[in-house]
A = this chain, B = another copy of it.
Amino acid sequence: MNNFNSIPEPSSDLLKRAVSARKAATALGQSSDLQRKEALKAMADSLSARSRQIVDSNLKDLQRSSEEGLSQALLSRLKLDENKLREAIDGLRRVALLDDPIGLRQLSRELDHGLLLERLTVPLGVLGIIFESRPDAVIQIASLAIRSGNAAILKGGSEAKLTNESIMNALREGLERSSIKPESLCLLTTRQESMALLRLEGMVDLIIPRGSNDLVKFIQDNTRIPVLGHADGVCHLYVDSFADLSKALEIAIDSKCQYPAACNAIETLLVHSQVAPSFLEKAIPAFDKLGVKLLGDEISCSLGVDNKADESDWSTEYLDLILSIKVVNDIDEALDHIRSYGSRHTDAIVTEDDNAANRFLLSVDSSGVYHNCSTRFADGFRYGFGAEVGISTQTLPPRGPVGLEGLVTYRYFLRGDGHIAADYSSGKRSFSHIDLRL
Protein backbone atom coordinates (compact mmCIF):
# COMPACT_ATOMS: atom_id res chain seq x y z
CA MET A 1 0.00 0.00 0.00
CA ASN A 2 2.97 2.31 0.25
CA ASN A 3 5.93 3.04 -1.95
CA PHE A 4 8.14 5.19 0.24
CA ASN A 5 11.07 3.00 -0.59
CA SER A 6 10.69 3.54 -4.31
CA ILE A 7 11.08 7.31 -3.89
CA PRO A 8 14.67 8.33 -4.63
CA GLU A 9 16.80 10.21 -2.11
CA PRO A 10 17.22 13.88 -3.04
CA SER A 11 20.36 14.57 -5.07
CA SER A 12 22.90 17.04 -3.69
CA ASP A 13 21.88 19.44 -6.44
CA LEU A 14 18.22 19.26 -5.39
CA LEU A 15 19.18 19.75 -1.75
CA LYS A 16 21.25 22.78 -2.71
CA ARG A 17 18.32 24.31 -4.61
CA ALA A 18 15.93 23.56 -1.76
CA VAL A 19 18.29 25.22 0.73
CA SER A 20 18.54 28.29 -1.46
CA ALA A 21 14.73 28.37 -1.85
CA ARG A 22 14.45 28.13 1.93
CA LYS A 23 16.86 31.04 2.42
CA ALA A 24 14.99 33.08 -0.16
CA ALA A 25 11.76 32.23 1.67
CA THR A 26 13.13 33.63 4.91
CA ALA A 27 13.82 36.96 3.20
CA LEU A 28 10.50 36.84 1.34
CA GLY A 29 8.66 36.24 4.61
CA GLN A 30 9.94 39.60 5.84
CA SER A 31 9.05 41.55 2.71
CA SER A 32 6.32 44.18 2.78
CA ASP A 33 2.96 44.02 1.06
CA LEU A 34 4.16 46.66 -1.41
CA GLN A 35 7.39 44.81 -2.22
CA ARG A 36 5.45 41.66 -3.05
CA LYS A 37 2.92 43.60 -5.13
CA GLU A 38 5.73 45.23 -7.09
CA ALA A 39 7.43 41.88 -7.59
CA LEU A 40 4.22 40.53 -9.13
CA LYS A 41 4.02 43.53 -11.39
CA ALA A 42 7.62 42.97 -12.50
CA MET A 43 6.85 39.30 -13.13
CA ALA A 44 3.86 40.26 -15.28
CA ASP A 45 5.87 42.85 -17.24
CA SER A 46 8.63 40.37 -17.88
CA LEU A 47 6.16 37.75 -19.11
CA SER A 48 4.62 40.30 -21.46
CA ALA A 49 8.01 41.28 -22.81
CA ARG A 50 8.95 37.67 -23.42
CA SER A 51 5.57 36.44 -24.65
CA ARG A 52 6.81 35.86 -28.21
CA GLN A 53 9.56 33.57 -26.90
CA ILE A 54 7.18 31.71 -24.56
CA VAL A 55 4.68 31.05 -27.33
CA ASP A 56 7.52 29.84 -29.56
CA SER A 57 8.73 27.42 -26.90
CA ASN A 58 5.19 26.18 -26.57
CA LEU A 59 4.98 25.54 -30.32
CA LYS A 60 8.11 23.39 -30.05
CA ASP A 61 6.64 21.48 -27.10
CA LEU A 62 3.41 20.95 -29.03
CA GLN A 63 5.24 19.72 -32.10
CA ARG A 64 7.45 17.31 -30.15
CA SER A 65 4.53 16.02 -28.05
CA SER A 66 2.36 15.57 -31.10
CA GLU A 67 5.13 13.54 -32.75
CA GLU A 68 5.41 11.51 -29.58
CA GLY A 69 1.71 10.75 -29.85
CA LEU A 70 0.29 12.79 -26.95
CA SER A 71 -3.52 12.63 -26.99
CA GLN A 72 -5.54 15.47 -28.50
CA ALA A 73 -7.04 16.31 -25.10
CA LEU A 74 -3.60 16.66 -23.52
CA LEU A 75 -2.28 18.63 -26.48
CA SER A 76 -5.08 21.11 -26.04
CA ARG A 77 -4.23 21.46 -22.35
CA LEU A 78 -0.56 21.93 -23.28
CA LYS A 79 -1.29 24.67 -25.83
CA LEU A 80 -0.42 28.20 -24.70
CA ASP A 81 -1.14 30.70 -27.42
CA GLU A 82 -0.92 34.47 -27.11
CA ASN A 83 -4.51 34.79 -25.90
CA LYS A 84 -4.16 32.19 -23.19
CA LEU A 85 -0.85 33.71 -22.10
CA ARG A 86 -2.37 37.17 -21.95
CA GLU A 87 -5.19 35.83 -19.78
CA ALA A 88 -2.66 34.20 -17.47
CA ILE A 89 -0.74 37.47 -17.19
CA ASP A 90 -3.99 39.32 -16.42
CA GLY A 91 -4.67 36.71 -13.73
CA LEU A 92 -1.23 37.37 -12.25
CA ARG A 93 -1.96 41.11 -12.11
CA ARG A 94 -5.24 40.39 -10.35
CA VAL A 95 -3.45 38.29 -7.71
CA ALA A 96 -1.32 41.36 -6.99
CA LEU A 97 -4.51 43.20 -6.03
CA LEU A 98 -5.68 40.62 -3.50
CA ASP A 99 -5.53 41.56 0.16
CA ASP A 100 -2.25 40.72 1.83
CA PRO A 101 -2.73 37.44 3.73
CA ILE A 102 0.45 38.06 5.77
CA GLY A 103 0.77 39.90 9.08
CA LEU A 104 -2.87 39.62 10.09
CA ARG A 105 -3.14 39.87 13.88
CA GLN A 106 -5.30 36.99 15.10
CA LEU A 107 -4.65 37.39 18.81
CA SER A 108 -3.24 40.11 21.02
CA ARG A 109 -3.21 39.28 24.71
CA GLU A 110 -1.43 40.67 27.74
CA LEU A 111 -0.37 37.59 29.70
CA ASP A 112 0.90 39.84 32.48
CA HIS A 113 2.16 43.37 32.84
CA GLY A 114 4.86 43.75 30.18
CA LEU A 115 4.39 40.27 28.72
CA LEU A 116 2.53 40.54 25.40
CA LEU A 117 1.42 37.59 23.29
CA GLU A 118 0.49 38.12 19.65
CA ARG A 119 -0.48 35.71 16.94
CA LEU A 120 0.19 36.86 13.40
CA THR A 121 -0.20 35.16 10.04
CA VAL A 122 3.10 34.28 8.38
CA PRO A 123 3.94 32.47 5.13
CA LEU A 124 4.29 28.70 5.24
CA GLY A 125 7.82 28.86 3.84
CA VAL A 126 8.48 26.73 0.78
CA LEU A 127 5.74 25.23 -1.38
CA GLY A 128 6.34 22.19 -3.54
CA ILE A 129 4.04 22.11 -6.54
CA ILE A 130 3.69 19.19 -8.91
CA PHE A 131 1.44 19.74 -11.89
CA GLU A 132 0.59 18.14 -15.17
CA SER A 133 0.30 19.53 -18.69
CA ARG A 134 -1.07 23.05 -18.44
CA PRO A 135 1.87 25.46 -18.49
CA ASP A 136 -0.23 28.46 -17.44
CA ALA A 137 -0.34 26.78 -14.01
CA VAL A 138 3.27 27.93 -13.49
CA ILE A 139 2.19 31.54 -13.76
CA GLN A 140 -0.82 31.15 -11.51
CA ILE A 141 1.01 29.20 -8.82
CA ALA A 142 4.08 31.41 -8.87
CA SER A 143 1.89 34.47 -8.40
CA LEU A 144 -0.04 32.96 -5.49
CA ALA A 145 3.22 31.84 -3.85
CA ILE A 146 4.97 35.22 -4.08
CA ARG A 147 1.81 37.14 -3.10
CA SER A 148 1.59 35.07 0.10
CA GLY A 149 5.33 35.37 0.85
CA ASN A 150 6.23 31.78 0.02
CA ALA A 151 9.04 30.39 -2.08
CA ALA A 152 7.99 27.67 -4.52
CA ILE A 153 9.66 24.68 -6.08
CA LEU A 154 7.68 23.70 -9.16
CA LYS A 155 7.71 20.55 -11.24
CA GLY A 156 5.69 20.42 -14.45
CA GLY A 157 5.12 17.72 -17.01
CA SER A 158 7.96 16.86 -19.37
CA GLU A 159 5.70 17.55 -22.38
CA ALA A 160 5.68 21.25 -21.37
CA LYS A 161 9.38 21.39 -20.57
CA LEU A 162 10.43 24.22 -22.91
CA THR A 163 7.33 26.31 -22.20
CA ASN A 164 7.75 25.96 -18.46
CA GLU A 165 11.41 26.88 -18.69
CA SER A 166 10.84 30.00 -20.69
CA ILE A 167 8.01 31.06 -18.35
CA MET A 168 10.23 30.47 -15.35
CA ASN A 169 13.09 32.43 -16.94
CA ALA A 170 10.73 35.35 -17.48
CA LEU A 171 9.38 35.16 -13.92
CA ARG A 172 12.85 35.09 -12.39
CA GLU A 173 13.98 37.91 -14.65
CA GLY A 174 11.04 39.90 -13.32
CA LEU A 175 12.02 39.09 -9.72
CA GLU A 176 15.57 40.25 -10.44
CA ARG A 177 14.17 43.69 -11.09
CA SER A 178 12.27 43.60 -7.78
CA SER A 179 13.35 43.36 -4.16
CA ILE A 180 12.38 39.67 -4.00
CA LYS A 181 15.13 37.13 -4.59
CA PRO A 182 14.81 35.16 -7.87
CA GLU A 183 15.76 32.00 -5.94
CA SER A 184 12.24 32.23 -4.48
CA LEU A 185 11.05 30.37 -7.56
CA CYS A 186 12.67 27.28 -8.95
CA LEU A 187 11.71 24.75 -11.57
CA LEU A 188 12.62 21.08 -11.43
CA THR A 189 13.02 19.39 -14.74
CA THR A 190 13.47 15.67 -14.18
CA ARG A 191 10.96 13.15 -12.92
CA GLN A 192 13.65 11.87 -10.56
CA GLU A 193 13.79 15.29 -8.94
CA SER A 194 10.06 15.63 -8.61
CA MET A 195 9.87 12.33 -6.77
CA ALA A 196 12.74 13.28 -4.49
CA LEU A 197 10.88 16.52 -3.72
CA LEU A 198 8.41 14.36 -1.80
CA ARG A 199 11.21 13.50 0.60
CA LEU A 200 12.16 17.07 1.50
CA GLU A 201 10.21 17.15 4.75
CA GLY A 202 11.44 19.97 6.95
CA MET A 203 12.53 21.88 3.82
CA VAL A 204 9.22 21.92 1.95
CA ASP A 205 6.17 22.84 4.01
CA LEU A 206 3.28 21.98 1.73
CA ILE A 207 2.88 19.95 -1.43
CA ILE A 208 0.22 21.06 -3.89
CA PRO A 209 -0.51 18.53 -6.63
CA ARG A 210 -2.39 19.76 -9.66
CA GLY A 211 -3.49 17.00 -11.96
CA SER A 212 -5.29 13.72 -12.18
CA ASN A 213 -6.73 11.84 -9.21
CA ASP A 214 -4.03 9.26 -9.68
CA LEU A 215 -1.29 11.84 -9.37
CA VAL A 216 -2.85 13.22 -6.19
CA LYS A 217 -3.29 9.77 -4.66
CA PHE A 218 0.27 8.80 -5.50
CA ILE A 219 1.60 11.93 -3.85
CA GLN A 220 -0.60 11.59 -0.76
CA ASP A 221 0.66 8.05 -0.32
CA ASN A 222 4.30 8.88 -0.81
CA THR A 223 5.15 11.86 1.31
CA ARG A 224 5.06 12.94 4.93
CA ILE A 225 4.79 16.56 3.89
CA PRO A 226 1.22 17.86 4.19
CA VAL A 227 -0.62 17.73 0.85
CA LEU A 228 -3.27 20.27 -0.14
CA GLY A 229 -5.67 18.72 -2.57
CA HIS A 230 -8.24 16.10 -3.07
CA ALA A 231 -8.30 12.82 -4.85
CA ASP A 232 -12.00 12.09 -5.18
CA GLY A 233 -14.97 14.35 -5.53
CA VAL A 234 -18.03 12.11 -5.12
CA CYS A 235 -20.75 14.71 -4.62
CA HIS A 236 -24.45 13.99 -4.02
CA LEU A 237 -27.71 15.74 -4.60
CA TYR A 238 -30.63 14.59 -2.43
CA VAL A 239 -34.13 15.34 -3.69
CA ASP A 240 -36.29 15.35 -0.58
CA SER A 241 -39.99 14.45 -0.36
CA PHE A 242 -40.74 18.15 0.12
CA ALA A 243 -38.66 19.26 -2.85
CA ASP A 244 -39.90 21.69 -5.45
CA LEU A 245 -39.40 19.25 -8.31
CA SER A 246 -38.77 21.79 -11.03
CA LYS A 247 -36.08 23.46 -8.92
CA ALA A 248 -34.71 19.99 -8.19
CA LEU A 249 -34.43 19.13 -11.86
CA GLU A 250 -32.74 22.41 -12.77
CA ILE A 251 -30.25 21.99 -9.93
CA ALA A 252 -29.63 18.34 -10.81
CA ILE A 253 -28.92 19.20 -14.44
CA ASP A 254 -26.62 22.08 -13.52
CA SER A 255 -24.80 20.00 -10.89
CA LYS A 256 -24.16 17.20 -13.36
CA CYS A 257 -23.87 18.84 -16.75
CA GLN A 258 -22.58 22.38 -16.40
CA TYR A 259 -19.01 21.02 -16.35
CA PRO A 260 -19.00 17.28 -15.71
CA ALA A 261 -15.19 16.99 -15.49
CA ALA A 262 -15.13 19.21 -12.39
CA CYS A 263 -14.71 17.71 -8.94
CA ASN A 264 -17.78 19.58 -7.70
CA ALA A 265 -20.11 17.98 -10.25
CA ILE A 266 -22.48 15.38 -8.75
CA GLU A 267 -22.01 11.67 -9.36
CA THR A 268 -25.07 10.41 -7.50
CA LEU A 269 -28.65 11.58 -7.25
CA LEU A 270 -30.58 10.37 -4.20
CA VAL A 271 -34.36 10.65 -4.57
CA HIS A 272 -36.99 10.25 -1.87
CA SER A 273 -39.33 7.37 -2.76
CA GLN A 274 -42.44 9.56 -2.41
CA VAL A 275 -41.36 11.86 -5.21
CA ALA A 276 -39.25 9.40 -7.21
CA PRO A 277 -41.97 8.48 -9.77
CA SER A 278 -42.93 12.04 -10.62
CA PHE A 279 -39.38 13.34 -10.47
CA LEU A 280 -37.84 10.60 -12.60
CA GLU A 281 -40.65 10.86 -15.12
CA LYS A 282 -39.32 14.31 -16.01
CA ALA A 283 -35.66 13.80 -15.14
CA ILE A 284 -34.99 10.71 -17.25
CA PRO A 285 -35.95 12.31 -20.60
CA ALA A 286 -34.23 15.55 -19.61
CA PHE A 287 -30.94 13.78 -18.89
CA ASP A 288 -31.36 11.63 -21.99
CA LYS A 289 -31.64 14.76 -24.08
CA LEU A 290 -28.40 16.06 -22.59
CA GLY A 291 -26.58 12.81 -23.33
CA VAL A 292 -26.23 11.77 -19.69
CA LYS A 293 -25.98 8.04 -19.14
CA LEU A 294 -28.05 7.04 -16.11
CA LEU A 295 -27.32 4.08 -13.84
CA GLY A 296 -29.91 3.16 -11.24
CA ASP A 297 -30.65 0.97 -8.27
CA GLU A 298 -33.45 -1.54 -8.58
CA ILE A 299 -36.29 0.88 -7.86
CA SER A 300 -35.10 3.62 -10.16
CA CYS A 301 -34.60 1.04 -12.90
CA SER A 302 -38.21 -0.03 -12.34
CA LEU A 303 -39.12 3.64 -12.76
CA GLY A 304 -37.42 3.87 -16.13
CA VAL A 305 -33.65 4.17 -15.64
CA ASP A 306 -32.04 2.03 -18.32
CA ASN A 307 -28.86 0.71 -16.76
CA LYS A 308 -28.28 -1.07 -13.46
CA ALA A 309 -25.73 0.47 -11.09
CA ASP A 310 -23.10 -1.76 -9.46
CA GLU A 311 -22.02 -1.42 -5.87
CA SER A 312 -18.82 0.22 -7.19
CA ASP A 313 -20.82 2.95 -8.94
CA TRP A 314 -21.75 4.58 -5.64
CA SER A 315 -18.13 5.46 -4.97
CA THR A 316 -17.07 6.27 -8.52
CA GLU A 317 -16.20 9.77 -9.65
CA TYR A 318 -17.20 9.60 -13.30
CA LEU A 319 -15.92 13.05 -14.31
CA ASP A 320 -18.19 12.48 -17.29
CA LEU A 321 -21.84 12.61 -18.37
CA ILE A 322 -22.76 9.62 -16.24
CA LEU A 323 -25.01 9.78 -13.18
CA SER A 324 -26.00 7.10 -10.70
CA ILE A 325 -29.47 7.30 -9.16
CA LYS A 326 -30.76 5.73 -5.97
CA VAL A 327 -34.22 5.89 -4.45
CA VAL A 328 -34.19 6.23 -0.65
CA ASN A 329 -37.01 5.76 1.82
CA ASP A 330 -36.19 8.75 3.98
CA ILE A 331 -33.59 11.39 4.74
CA ASP A 332 -31.79 8.98 7.08
CA GLU A 333 -31.11 6.60 4.25
CA ALA A 334 -29.78 9.49 2.18
CA LEU A 335 -27.52 10.58 5.05
CA ASP A 336 -26.28 7.01 5.56
CA HIS A 337 -25.52 6.69 1.86
CA ILE A 338 -23.52 9.93 1.83
CA ARG A 339 -21.66 8.91 4.99
CA SER A 340 -20.74 5.58 3.39
CA TYR A 341 -19.86 6.63 -0.15
CA GLY A 342 -19.21 10.38 -0.12
CA SER A 343 -15.82 12.01 -0.23
CA ARG A 344 -16.63 14.98 2.03
CA HIS A 345 -16.48 17.37 -0.87
CA THR A 346 -19.88 18.98 -1.48
CA ASP A 347 -23.39 17.59 -1.00
CA ALA A 348 -26.73 19.27 -1.50
CA ILE A 349 -30.38 18.85 -0.55
CA VAL A 350 -33.38 20.19 -2.45
CA THR A 351 -36.37 20.69 -0.19
CA GLU A 352 -38.91 23.30 0.86
CA ASP A 353 -38.87 21.85 4.39
CA ASP A 354 -36.45 23.91 6.49
CA ASN A 355 -36.23 21.25 9.17
CA ALA A 356 -35.10 18.64 6.69
CA ALA A 357 -32.65 21.14 5.19
CA ASN A 358 -31.14 21.98 8.56
CA ARG A 359 -30.88 18.35 9.49
CA PHE A 360 -29.06 17.59 6.26
CA LEU A 361 -26.71 20.57 6.60
CA LEU A 362 -25.82 19.68 10.18
CA SER A 363 -25.44 15.94 9.59
CA VAL A 364 -23.36 15.75 6.44
CA ASP A 365 -19.73 16.33 7.33
CA SER A 366 -18.56 17.46 3.90
CA SER A 367 -16.68 20.72 3.50
CA GLY A 368 -19.66 22.13 1.60
CA VAL A 369 -23.29 21.46 2.50
CA TYR A 370 -25.86 23.14 0.28
CA HIS A 371 -29.58 23.77 0.32
CA ASN A 372 -31.53 24.44 -2.88
CA CYS A 373 -28.55 25.28 -5.07
CA SER A 374 -26.07 23.62 -7.38
CA THR A 375 -22.94 21.86 -6.08
CA ARG A 376 -21.04 23.65 -8.85
CA PHE A 377 -20.77 26.73 -6.60
CA ALA A 378 -17.99 24.98 -4.63
CA ASP A 379 -15.18 27.06 -6.04
CA GLY A 380 -12.82 29.70 -4.66
CA PHE A 381 -13.76 32.34 -7.21
CA ARG A 382 -17.48 31.79 -6.76
CA TYR A 383 -17.00 32.00 -2.99
CA GLY A 384 -15.32 35.37 -3.59
CA PHE A 385 -11.80 34.40 -2.52
CA GLY A 386 -10.28 35.99 -5.63
CA ALA A 387 -8.01 32.99 -6.15
CA GLU A 388 -8.17 29.28 -5.66
CA VAL A 389 -5.17 27.39 -4.40
CA GLY A 390 -7.05 24.13 -4.49
CA ILE A 391 -10.00 22.28 -3.03
CA SER A 392 -9.32 20.09 -0.03
CA THR A 393 -11.48 17.19 1.07
CA GLN A 394 -9.59 16.79 4.34
CA THR A 395 -11.49 17.20 7.57
CA LEU A 396 -8.94 19.56 9.06
CA PRO A 397 -8.68 23.18 7.96
CA PRO A 398 -8.05 24.45 5.37
CA ARG A 399 -10.84 22.53 3.63
CA GLY A 400 -13.20 23.12 0.77
CA PRO A 401 -12.17 25.72 -1.79
CA VAL A 402 -8.98 27.25 -0.43
CA GLY A 403 -7.83 30.76 -1.27
CA LEU A 404 -4.62 32.47 -0.25
CA GLU A 405 -5.31 31.62 3.41
CA GLY A 406 -4.26 28.06 2.60
CA LEU A 407 -0.74 29.30 1.95
CA VAL A 408 -0.25 30.96 5.31
CA THR A 409 0.15 29.78 8.86
CA TYR A 410 0.71 31.75 12.07
CA ARG A 411 3.38 32.26 14.65
CA TYR A 412 3.10 33.24 18.32
CA PHE A 413 5.20 36.28 19.20
CA LEU A 414 5.86 36.72 22.91
CA ARG A 415 7.66 39.83 24.14
CA GLY A 416 8.67 40.32 27.75
CA ASP A 417 11.24 42.04 29.87
CA GLY A 418 12.99 39.25 31.67
CA HIS A 419 9.80 37.32 32.49
CA ILE A 420 10.37 33.77 33.74
CA ALA A 421 7.92 30.93 34.32
CA ALA A 422 9.15 30.13 37.84
CA ASP A 423 7.60 33.38 39.13
CA TYR A 424 4.15 32.18 38.06
CA SER A 425 4.61 28.68 39.51
CA SER A 426 5.72 30.10 42.83
CA GLY A 427 2.78 32.48 42.96
CA LYS A 428 5.05 35.53 43.00
CA ARG A 429 3.28 36.75 39.86
CA SER A 430 0.04 35.73 38.19
CA PHE A 431 -1.35 35.86 34.69
CA SER A 432 -3.80 38.59 33.75
CA HIS A 433 -4.82 37.22 30.31
CA ILE A 434 -6.34 40.48 29.11
CA ASP A 435 -7.31 40.47 25.44
CA LEU A 436 -6.32 43.66 23.66
CA ARG A 437 -8.05 45.14 20.65
CA LEU A 438 -6.95 43.58 17.39
Q: Which residues of A contact B (CB under 8 A)?
A: 1-2, 4-5, 22, 26, 29-30, 109, 111, 115, 117, 122, 124-125, 205-206, 220-221, 224, 226, 244, 247, 250-251, 253-254, 258-259, 335, 339, 357, 361-363, 365-374, 376-378, 382-384, 394-397, 399-401, 409-422, 424-425, 431, 433
Contact = CB atoms under 8 A, between A and B. Distances in A.
Contacts of A414: 368-371, 373, 377
Given A111-B383, A384-B111, A384-B433, A376 B420 contact: yes
B372 A416 contact: yes
Contact of A416 (B115, B371, B401): B371
Contact of A431 (B374, B384, B401, B411): B384
User: How would you classify the secondary structure of chain A's contact residues: helix, strand, loop or mixed?
Assistant: mixed
Given A383-B111, A384-B433, A413 B374 contact: no
A321 to B, nearest CB: 15
B365 A418 contact: no
Q: What copy number does this chain have within its complex?
A: 2
A122 B364 CA distance: 11
A370 B415 contact: yes
Nearest to A228: B396
B431 A382 contact: yes
Contacts of A421: 254, 258-259, 374, 376-377, 382
B383 A109 contact: yes
B1 A4 contact: yes
A153 to B, nearest CB: 15
A124 B396 contact: yes
Contact of A362 (B29, B205, B366, B395): B29
Contacts of A357: 415
A411 B412 CA distance: 26
Contacts of A226: 394-396
B395 A125 contact: yes
A363 B413 CA distance: 12
Given A115-B373, A115-B377, A399-B410, 10 more contacts: A29-B363, A111-B382, A117-B384, A124-B395, A125-B395, A365-B411, A371-B416, A373-B414, A373-B419, A376-B420
B422 A258 contact: yes
Contacts of A401: 412
29 contacts: A1-B4, A2-B2, A2-B5, A22-B339, A26-B339, A29-B363, A29-B365, A30-B362, A111-B382, A111-B384, A124-B395, A247-B417, A251-B420, A254-B421, A258-B421, A357-B415, A368-B412, A370-B414, A372-B415, A372-B416, A372-B418, A372-B419, A373-B414, A374-B419, A374-B421, A377-B416, A396-B409, A397-B409, A399-B410
Contacts of A251: 418, 420
Nearest to A354: B415
A5 B409 CA distance: 33
Nearest to A29: B362
